[in-house]
Amino acid sequence: MVAADTVEKPSGLLFEGPEWDFDKLRRVYDAIEDIALNELGLDVYPNQIEVITSEQMLDAYASIGLPLMYRHWSFGKRFAREEALYRHGLQGLAYEIVINSSPCISYIMEENSMAMQTLVLSHAAFGHNHFFKNNYLFRQWTDATGILDYLTFARDFVSHTEEHNGVEAVERVLDAAHALMNHGVHRYARPPKLNLEEERQRQEDRRRYFEENYDDIWRTALIGEKREEDVSARAKQRTEIRRKLGLPEENILYFLEKRAPRLEPWQRELVRIVRHISQYFYPQKQTRLMNEGCATFVHYEIMTRLHEKGLINDGTFLEALHSHTSVIFQPDFDDPRYHGINPYALGFAMMRDIKRICLEPSDEDREWFPDIAGNRDPYGTLRYAWANYRDESFVLQYLSPRLIREFRLFRVLDEAGNDALIVRAIHDERGYRDIRRSLARHYDLARHEPDIQIRDVDLAGDRCLILTHAVHNGILLDEPSCRAVLDHLGELWRYGIRLEEIDASSDRVLKTHEVPARL
């Protein structure tokens, strides 16, 4: 230990020891900002750092990470569970929570040591922040400046409605809407930006419109009672109605909000609120791997640079590394700790790999990634990837053979009827593309969540709502949960509901679930 002999305090250190205070935070933030903006070239929303206690962190957990939220028992349930896990020491708390808003709010815990605060600031205030601001999904689908206003509106609207209609009635609608939350998302068309004033105005308009107007569904119901017409005309009429209603529609909540015949205006508004929140989180679900990878990569680079520049001492750096390595730990499949592929681990490894390909490519890399191999611009390449990909396309584009070997990935096939699983591909020449393709598919939400659409409304008859589940690979819906969700759906639709599970390749109806009308 040469260093031990010359113990004089290096003058450049930003801080020493584990205690943090606001001055230190500010100093460290400035140093991090310098590296993040000038060396990594990040582009971030203005930052707002909020120091909170562990209890407040639990609160934040419970309201799915949002700073304001309407009241609902399910958040209480989440809180109770998190608290129990935390108290028993089964689960630590996150060091930070970051909110996709402008300014970008990062919550950091008071229990963190100064080294952890440094890590957390780099991770959240720059890593996640950059990703939120630049990734195309977030840019197109969420509105960082409007979300806090919208949540305020939502919270106030819900409590106002509770006063008018009773907590129980509101809860019934919210329960039902929550059950359909995953099916309350526009997947292909970009939703309009939210604006608090317009929201209020629109809600007011809706109430008035509703009072003044009839509903298509009511009107067209009369057609069924007319005398027999010829079959082709009826079929044509039917398609016409379906077109008018915008069917088929995969955004179930949207359809209910607009078309459900027996909802009160306030009930529609509640459905809309849940739908918007679901939409807000949709990009996050599609970019978990990249988002965490980006943030982890950024904090790793920044901590390394801080250390290289002599701004933090070895102890701080080691503490940060210790935490870093436990975050990116990936147990093997036969390890009891295995819970799927750790997005931090894979995301971070891929980003690092891209940096390596840019700087020190092997022949294999040149063959697989001719356009980036050896381009000597790792940060530019990464910024491009962060901006223009989501998990699925990112894996499909950038997972290198080298990483497949490092993770020793393999593909297993499980077919009902076979007693054994079959290994279909391993980390070898023949397997790389196969594994890459399959892994990318796993990150595709559209394949991951059941594909359910509203196909038709039987306007000529009993207004039965007809849904279809496109069954891929013969995997049906889970029966009890399906029944429960349809029950909730019935709460909103009020007439009969039929869900058909149709095999996507053969169009054969495999199973039908029905819920009677509530009159």
Partner 1 sequence: MNIIDRRPNPKGKSLANRQRFIDRARGEVKRALSDALKRRKVGESDGGEKVSIPTRGITEPMFHRASSGGWRDYIVPGNKKFVVGDTIERPPSGEGDGRGSASPEDGGEQDAFEFVLSKEEFLTLFFEDLELPDLVKTRLKESEATQLSRAGFSIAGTPANLNLVRTMRNSLARRISLHRPTPSEIAALQRQVDAAFAADDAEGAAQGSLDLDNAQRKARRVAYIDPVDVRYNRFERVPRPNTQAVMFCLMDVSGSMTEAMKDLAKRFFLLLHVFLTRRYKHVEIVFIRHTSNAQEVDEETFFHSRETGGTIVSTALEEMLRIVRERYNPANWNIYAAQASDGDNYTEDSDRCSQLLGGEILPLSQYFAYIEVGAEATLRHGFPSPPTDLWRTYGQIAAEHRNFAMRKVADPTQIFPVFHELFAKQRENA
Q: Which is nearer to partner 1, 71 or 234 (CB)?
A: 71
Q: How far is the CB of 140 from partner 1 (least distance, A)?
A: 25
Q: How far is the CB of 78 from partner 1 (least distance, A)?
A: 8
Is residue 442 packed enough to be buried (19+ CB in 10 Å), middle (13-18) or exposed (0-12)? middle
Please give the structure tokens belonging to residue 513: 């679930």
Tokens 């700087």 belong to 359
* Contact predicate 71/117, CB 8 Å: no
Q: Which is nearer to partner 1, 194 or 435 (CB)?
A: 435
Q: How far is the CB of 421 from partner 1 (least distance, A)?
A: 5
Q: How far is the CB of 181 from partner 1 (least distance, A)?
A: 7
CA 250 to chain centre: 18
Tokens 């050896």 belong to 374
User: Which of 332, 441, 460 has the alpha carbon at shortest distance from 390?
Assistant: 441
Q: How far is the CB of 128 from partner 1 (least distance, A)?
A: 15
Please give the structure tokens belonging to residue 286: 């599609």
* Contact predicate 471/499, CB 8 Å: no
Question: Looking at the DSSP assignment, which residues form a beta bridge with residue 108?
Answer: 51, 96
Is residue 259 packed enough to be buried (19+ CB in 10 Å), middle (13-18) or exposed (0-12)? buried
Q: Which is nearer to partner 1, 41 or 76 (CB)?
A: 76
Q: Which is nearer to partner 1, 76 or 380 (CB)?
A: 76
Please give the structure tokens belonging to residue 402: 């080298």
Q: Are strands 465-471 and 451-457 parallel, antiparallel or unpaired?
A: antiparallel
Q: Which is nearer to partner 1, 87 or 518 (CB)?
A: 87
Q: Which is nearer to partner 1, 154 or 372 (CB)?
A: 154
Q: Which is nearer to partner 1, 2 or 420 (CB)?
A: 420
**Dihedral over alpha carbons 244, 250, 251, 253 (to 10 degrees):** 90
Q: How far is the CB of 332 from partner 1 (least distance, A)?
A: 3
Question: Phi, psi at residue 455, to the nearest 5°?
Answer: -95, -40
Question: Would you call 454 helix, strand, or coil by DSSP?
Answer: strand
User: Which of 281, 223, 248, 323 has the alpha carbon at shortest distance from 69?
Assistant: 281
Q: How far is the CB of 449 from partner 1 (least distance, A)?
A: 8
Distance CA 184, CA 285 (A): 14
User: Which of 494, 501, 515 has the alpha carbon at shortest distance from 218?
Assistant: 494
Q: How far is the CB of 446 from partner 1 (least distance, A)?
A: 13
Preceding omega of 261 cis (within 30 degrees of 0): no
Q: Which is nearer to partner 1, 183 or 305 (CB)?
A: 183
Q: How far is the CB of 244 from partner 1 (least distance, A)?
A: 27
Q: Which is nearer to partner 1, 300 or 443 (CB)?
A: 443
Q: How far is the CB of 9 from partner 1 (least distance, A)?
A: 26
Distance CA 449, CA 248 (A): 18
Q: Which is nearer to partner 1, 222 or 475 (CB)?
A: 475
Q: Which is nearer to partner 1, 22 or 188 (CB)?
A: 22
Residue 105, number of CB atoms within 10 A of its CB: 21
Residue length of the chain: 519
Q: How far is the CB of 472 from partner 1 (least distance, A)?
A: 8
Amino acid at 471: V
Q: How far is the CB of 150 from partner 1 (least distance, A)?
A: 19
Q: Which is nearer to partner 1, 235 or 423 (CB)?
A: 423
Preceding omega of 331 cis (within 30 degrees of 0): no
Residues 6+ apart with CB under 8 A from 116: 95, 319, 320, 323
Question: Phi, psi at residue 89, to the nearest 5°?
Answer: 75, 15
